[in-house]
Amino acid sequence: MKLVPLTVILSLPILGACGPTGFASSATASRVAPASGGTVNLSLSSESNRSVSRAGVGTVAYVSGTDVDRGQIVAAAGISGTPNVGAARTSGSGTYTTRYQYVVVDNITRTDTLISGTRGEEAGTMSLAADFDAGTLTGSTSELTVNGTISGSDVGGNVTANYSGSVLGGGTISGSVNGELAGDIGTNGVIATFHGSDNNTVMAGGLVGSAD
């Protein structure tokens, strides 16, 4: 599925008690956050929660919204509950059929009283190749590139999210943002969060799938 955009849905007064001097230095922030019941609860303004799941493996929840006290647009993701990836593999190789989803907020701008951006989502499927001897997890589509690492049952590494689409009311948004990858892998499946930001973009999401 291509980008499903919304326009300037995050424009609202920033309520920092000290005015602009009380804001975070950056207008963007991304991170891993606790998740439960398929939701990340950060008490953000204009909060939008989504999730991606695979039956028998687990769920990644992700959220975007505005932290009005810090003057930031935030994107975060977390693994909901306890995933079932199976036992760790220490040798050999395998493939995993996964589904990924992520939210991106681009063109973020901040003034003394307002913060705004354009939000959209990307989603798709990807085959991930796991080399347990080399400790790598890799895969790529036009929307997401995974350069992961494997250590026991832990997944690390990074991703690059590529996004593009038409903006409701006219225009387009497109670009790419790098992010951190973290999760679990085993004989049954793989699950991971990813998130990243730059000076005017935030992104967070996840991938989850079963061993082939």
pLDDT digits over 132-151, tens only? 999 999 999 999 999 999 99
199 pLDDT band, cuts 50/70/90, is very high
Q: How many residues does the chain have?
A: 212
The amino acid present at 143, given as its one-letter code, is: E
Q: Which residues pair with 59 in a beta bridge?
A: 53, 80
Q: Which of 30, 13, 119 is nearest to 71 (CA)?
A: 13
% of the chain exceeding 90 in pLDDT:
71
Q: Is the dihedral of CA 180, 160, 120, 21 positive or negative?
A: positive
Cβ-proximal residues to 65 (8 Å cutoff; 6+ apart), any chain: 10, 42, 44, 45, 46, 47, 48, 73, 74
Question: What mean pLDDT value characterizes the chain?
Answer: 89
CATH architecture of the domain 12-211 equals Beta Barrel (2.40)
pLDDT digits (tens, 9 = 90+) for 22-71: 688 999 999 999 999 999 989 898 899 999 999 999 999 999 999 888 88
Q: Is 167 left (phi over 0), alpha (psi -120 to 50) or beta?
A: beta
First to last CA, the chain: 23
> Where residue 187 falls among pLDDT bands split at 50, 70, 90?
very high
> What percent of the chain is modeled with pLDDT above 70?
88
Q: Average pLDDT, stretch 62-86? A: 94
Q: pLDDT confidence of 172, banded at 50, 70, 90?
A: confident
Give pLDDT, residue 14.
Answer: 54
Q: How far apart are CA 103 and CA 113, in angstroms?
A: 25
At 186, is the pLDDT very low, low, confident or very high (cuts 50, 70, 90)?
A: very high
Residue 12 has pLDDT above 60, yes or no: no
Please give the pLDDT value at position 7.
35
Q: Which residue has 């303004």 as its token pair?
A: 45
pLDDT exceeds 80 at position 156: yes
